[in-house]
């Protein structure tokens, strides 16, 4: 892979911390699973159910938690969180590919460009845009008037950022994402729908990553807010006036309706749907495919998914569910007669 590097196990430990057991001069050039690792690869064990693979892996070294350190005889790096360590090792070995260099001659900008910016072809930049240090903008992006991009922000191809939106430091926005389009606001007037001007913006904190083709709508009066450290997957919809708490994660195809407030460290599973004007407690997890129709007051895992089944069985069970209220009424009447 372009940009890949090699380090000894001791050098990796110097970057990440942890203890090296075995030969610290073992050269590491890649990461892999226990099952697929080969010469030069470092693997990791984060789930006990794969423990038996420690006996058969061909990995040059393994990242292990202290309680699992004796399970592998070869070189190993011992840390408390092997999964996070794997992520950091992968970043160390395969840094991000370089983006565009300098400013492509096709760029159209109504704002002054700093010397350290990198911009690919076909980019359009409006008036009054504020750039942090070492911003990287890939081909085809459109940046509206008054946008602010923090230090080391990277926009991948065809990102659109509407006027007045702000992205903090070290932001990553993947291809096709749209930040700051109008929220879905219309007032009924007889048979007509009158558009409500969306006068707010979008404020995105530091260290936020936004997936491909995700949309974050601007607020109606106040900003839609994405807190520091949030990670948002592909094809997610975040509607106007939402407040997403710091370090929350939202998986692909989730939809969050307007004026929802997520607390910090929430986890929203793929294809989950959250109705408007609800509050989700800090630390709450919403399972994939769940439809949330009322506020969640407590942390923990919340699930509302009817289990997958063969179609005929599902229809049969759904018919019973529709009759539950009548059955409950009949049971209440029988209980009265027995008293």
| 120 plus 204 within the same structural domain | yes
Measured CA to CA, the distance from residue 264 to residue 270 in angstroms comes to: 18
Tokens encoding 230: 């949030």
Tell whether 220 is covered by a domain: yes
- Write down the pLDDT at residue 4: 65
Is residue 178 within 8 A of residue 155, CB to CB? The reply is no
User: Into how many domains does the chain fold?
Assistant: 3
| 196 plus 240 within the same structural domain | yes
- Listed residues 62, 93, 124: the one ending a domain: 93
- Write down the pLDDT at residue 338: 84
| 176 plus 75 within the same structural domain | no
- Write down the pLDDT at residue 158: 98
Is residue 129 within 8 A of residue 146, CB to CB? The reply is yes
- Listed residues 25, 60, 93: the one ending a domain: 93
Find tokens 């008036």 and name the residue: 127
| 134 plus 221 within the same structural domain | yes
Tell whether 100 is covered by a domain: no
Contacts of 159 (CB under 8 A, 6+ apart): 138, 141, 142, 173, 174, 175, 176, 177, 178, 179
Measured CA to CA, the distance from residue 264 to residue 267 in angstroms comes to: 9
| 193 plus 261 within the same structural domain | yes
| 123 plus 266 within the same structural domain | yes
User: Phi, psi (5° rounding) for residue 14?
Assistant: -65, -35
| 138 plus 59 within the same structural domain | no
Tell whether 99 is covered by a domain: no
Above pLDDT 70, what percent of the chain?
A: 99
Tell whether 242 is covered by a domain: yes
For residue 335, the enclosing domain spans 311-339
| 323 plus 217 within the same structural domain | no
| 279 plus 138 within the same structural domain | yes
**CA dist 208 → 15, 32, 166, 228, 248 (Å):** 23, 26, 12, 6, 10
Bridge partners of 265, per DSSP, are: none
| 119 plus 228 within the same structural domain | yes
| 144 plus 211 within the same structural domain | yes
Tell whether 2 is covered by a domain: no
Measured CA to CA, the distance from residue 74 to residue 82 in angstroms comes to: 16
Question: What are 21-74's pLDDT values in tens digits?
Answer: 999 999 999 999 999 999 999 999 999 999 999 999 999 999 999 999 999 999
Tell whether 322 is covered by a domain: yes
Tell whether 1 is covered by a domain: no
- Report the run of H or E that residue 248 belongs to, with start and end: none
Tell whether 22 is covered by a domain: yes
Question: Active-site residue 104, yes or no?
Answer: no
- Write down the pLDDT at residue 228: 98
Domain containing 70 — which CATH number?
3.40.1390.10
- Listed residues 93, 128, 163: the one ending a domain: 93
- Write down the pLDDT at residue 5: 84
Domain containing 215 — which CATH number?
2.160.10.10
- Write down the pLDDT at residue 1: 43
Residue from 240, 243, 265, 277 carrying the catalytic annotation: 240
| 315 plus 298 within the same structural domain | no
**CA dist 245 → 205, 208, 231, 265, 304 (Å):** 10, 11, 11, 7, 22
For 65, what's the count of Cα atoms within 13 Å in the CB-facing half-sphere? 12
Tens-of-pLDDT digits for all 339 residues of the chain? 445 689 999 999 999 999 999 999 999 999 999 999 999 999 999 999 999 999 999 999 999 999 999 999 999 999 999 999 999 999 999 887 788 999 999 999 999 999 999 999 999 999 999 999 999 999 999 999 999 999 999 999 999 999 999 999 999 999 999 999 999 999 999 999 999 999 999 999 999 999 999 999 999 999 999 999 999 999 999 999 999 999 999 999 999 999 999 999 999 999 999 999 999 999 999 999 999 999 999 999 999 877 778 999 988 888 888 888 898 999 999 988 887
């Amino acid at each position: 892979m372009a940009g890949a590097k090699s380090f000894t196990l001791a050098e990796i430990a110097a970057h990440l911390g942890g203890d090296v057991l075995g030969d610290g001069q073992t050269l590491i050039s890649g990461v892999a699973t226990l099952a697929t690792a080969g010469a030069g690869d470092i693997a990791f064990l984060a789930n006990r159910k794969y423990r038996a693979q420690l006996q058969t892996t061909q990995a040059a070294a393994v990242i292990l938690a202290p309680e699992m350190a004796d399970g592998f005889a070869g070189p190993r790096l011992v840390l408390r969180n092997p999964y996070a360590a794997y992520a950091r090792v992968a970043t160390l070995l395969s840094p991000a590919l370089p983006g565009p260099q300098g400013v492509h001659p096709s760029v159209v900008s109504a704002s002054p460009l700093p010397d350290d910016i990198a911009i690919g072809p076909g980019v359009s930049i409006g008036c009054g845009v504020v750039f942090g240090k070492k911003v990287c903008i890939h081909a085809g992006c459109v940046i509206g008037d008054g946008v602010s991009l923090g230090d080391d922000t990277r926009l991948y191809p065809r990102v659109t950022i509407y006027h007045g939106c702000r992205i903090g430091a070290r932001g990553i926005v993947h291809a096709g994402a749209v930040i700051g389009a109008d929220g879905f606001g219309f007032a009924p007037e007889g048979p007509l729908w009158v558009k409500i001007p969306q006068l707010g913006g979008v404020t995105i904190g530091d260290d936020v990553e936004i997936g491909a083709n995700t949309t974050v709508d601007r607020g109606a009066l106040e900003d839609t807010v994405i807190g520091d450290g949030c990670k948002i997957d592909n094809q997610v919809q975040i509607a106007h006036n939402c407040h997403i708490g710091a370090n929350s994660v939202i998986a692909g195809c989730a939809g969050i309706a307007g004026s929802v407030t997520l607390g910090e460290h929430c986890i929203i599973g793929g294809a989950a749907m959250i109705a408007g004007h609800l509050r989700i407690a800090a630390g709450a997890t919403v399972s994939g495919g769940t439809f949330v129709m009322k506020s969640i007051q407590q942390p923990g895992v919340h699930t509302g998914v009817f289990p997958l089944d063969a179609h005929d069985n599902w229809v049969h069970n759904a018919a019973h569910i529709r009759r539950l209220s009548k059955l409950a009424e009949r049971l209440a009447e029988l209980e009265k007669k027995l008293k």
